[in-house]
Amino acid sequence: MSQSLQQITLTRPDDWHLHLRDGAAMAAVAPYSARQFHRAIIMPNLRPPVTTTAQALAYRRRILDALPADSNFQPLMTLYLTDNTTAEEVRRARDSGHVHAVKLYPAGATTNSDAGVTDPGKVDDTLAAMAEIGLPLLVHGEMTRDDIDVFDREKAFIDHQLAPLTERHPDLRVVFEHITTRDAVEFVHDSGPNVAATLTPQHLLFNRNAMLVGGMHPHFYCLPVLKRESHRQALIAAATSGNPKFFLGTDSAPHAKDAKESACGCAGIFSAHAAIELYATAFEQAGALNRLEGFASHFGADFYGLPRNKEQVTLVRQDWQVPDTLPFADTRGEAPLVPFLAGEALHWKLQP
Ligand code: DOR
Ligand code: ZN
């Protein structure tokens, strides 16, 4: 990595947590990720969810077909874990060569999680098979019981579900996705080398005031929700520490403008239009631009046992304005998408 006050050149990054959707929505958003990243771990929370290897392979083909012809972007597929996912299915997934992880959504935790796991204890045989074949488990770390405050759900998940799970399966590789609290940073830090975490740009750049002060700002609403400033500081410290357990995963999750700006707005922030620029902004604020490359381009590949990318990308210091909306379409037809930080100025720009 080379870095001056005006320019940063780094190994092309990968996105270890991405929602690409399907159909017209996917065609609208996939090029933004492909422009920045070489690879991405693709979330399986479609409707219906991607629960089998056959579905994952078909979805991979649709993604490749939706990309620009000259794109070299590699979608790394995942399976959606249900109470009924068998050990045989995860073995088949591993043998396909294209499924790189299995995603655990606690039932009801977030968008399209109804078919998720009702109790991690029910899938122990499948988790044991994953540990044996080296297929990582990705967790949406929130405990969804009605009596648990939404701001406490990550800690409750650690205490009641994740810590026992990693004790039962000490060799299982686990990625604690989009962590939002100091508790999660400490859990990952104190766990063995088989436990890592991804961090989103929104959780590094903002605390919950951005969502709730001066009105309700739906374009800052995602799950897990933004937390208080002391948690954000713990996340920044982890991301910029150089510890390879913490790496980039945008959780970019597009929803049409009207689905966000609604009496019951959807959770999810679309950040793929400016992902690496947003991370550069967060790292620069922390005085740690020299740590960006490890976080964005090395540590995730190392954890997944994949080669680091060979290509490089360059960011230049240049003011530009994020568009107010981007063209998008969902199952209802065309509808604009509001990108993260719409209308705001960013000071780093990825070179074409
Ligand atoms: O905010 C979120 N949006 N969190 C998730 O876990 C899912 C995602 C989505 O699919 O929209
Ligand atoms: Zn996600």
pLDDT, tens only, 189-203: 999 999 999 999 999
**Interval 250-276 mean pLDDT:** 97
Q: How would you classify residue 333: left for phi > 0, otherwise alpha for psi between -120 and 50, otherwise beta? A: left
- Whether the CB-CB separation of 248 and 279 falls below 8 Å is answered with yes
Q: Return d(Cα 35, Cα 276) in angstroms, integer.
A: 11
Q: Return d(Cα 158, Cα 141) in angstroms, integer.
A: 7
To test the ligand 1 pocket, which listed residue (17, 20, 111) has its Cβ within 8 A of the most ligand atoms? Answer: 111
- What's this model's pTM, rounded to 2 decimal places? 0.97
pLDDT in tens, 158-178: 999 999 999 999 999 999 999
Check whether 252 has a pLDDT greater than 90: yes
Neighbour-count burial for 141-161, b at 16+ CB within 10 Å, e otherwise: bbbbeeeeeebebbbbbbeeb
Check whether 9 has a pLDDT greater than 80: yes
Question: 50 CB under 6 A from ligand 1?
Answer: no
Atom of ligand 1 nearest to the CA of 109: 6
To test the ligand 1 pocket, which listed residue (223, 250, 252) has its Cβ within 8 A of the most ligand atoms? Answer: 223
Question: 253 CB under 6 A from ligand 1?
Answer: yes
Neighbour-count burial for 96-127, b at 16+ CB within 10 Å, e otherwise: eebbbbbbbbbeebbbbbebbbeebeebeebb
Residues near ion ligand 2 (Cβ under 5 Å) = 251
- Whether the CB-CB separation of 309 and 11 falls below 8 Å is answered with yes
| Protein residue whose Cα sits closest to atom 2 of ligand 1 | 268
* Listed residue (134, 138, 228) closest to 175, CA to CA: 138
User: SS3 for 197?
Assistant: strand
**pLDDT, averaged across the chain:** 96
Whole-angstrom CA distances from 86 to 53, 90, 92, 137, 148 are: 12, 7, 10, 14, 30
**Interval 261-287 mean pLDDT:** 97
SS3 content of the chain, % helix, strand, coil (to 5): 40, 20, 45
Q: Return d(Cα 35, Cα 15) in angstroms, integer.
A: 12
Domains observed in the chain? 2-350 (3.20.20.140)
Q: Which residue in the block uniquely carries the two structure tokens 């199952």?
A: 331
Q: What does the DSSP 8-state code read for residue 331?
A: T
pLDDT for the residue numbered 191: 98
* Listed residue (197, 194, 155) closest to 176, CA to CA: 197
pLDDT in tens, 60-96: 999 999 999 999 999 999 999 999 999 999 999 999 9
- Whether the CB-CB separation of 226 and 207 falls below 8 Å is answered with yes
Tokens of 112: 């399209």
pLDDT in tens, 110-163: 666 778 899 899 999 999 999 999 999 999 999 988 999 999 999 999 999 999
pLDDT for the residue numbered 111: 65
* Listed residue (135, 123, 117) closest to 76, CA to CA: 135
pLDDT in tens, 329-342: 988 889 999 999 99
- Whether the CB-CB separation of 168 and 144 falls below 8 Å is answered with no
CA of 138 to the centre of ligand 2 (A): 10
| Protein residue whose Cα sits closest to atom 8 of ligand 1 | 268
Higher pLDDT, 183 or 113: 183
Q: What does the DSSP 8-state code read for residue 326?
A: B
User: SS3 for 144?
Assistant: coil
- Whether the CB-CB separation of 43 and 6 falls below 8 Å is answered with no
pLDDT in tens, 197-245: 999 999 999 999 999 999 999 999 999 999 999 999 999 999 999 999 9
Active-site pick, 95, 251, 302, 324:
251
Higher pLDDT, 107 or 112: 107
Tokens of 345: 């100025």
Question: 281 CB under 6 A from ligand 1?
Answer: no
Higher pLDDT, 108 or 118: 118
**Interval 291-298 mean pLDDT:** 98
pLDDT in tens, 26-54: 999 999 999 999 999 999 999 999 999 99
How does residue 267 score in pLDDT terms, banded at 50, 70 and 90? very high
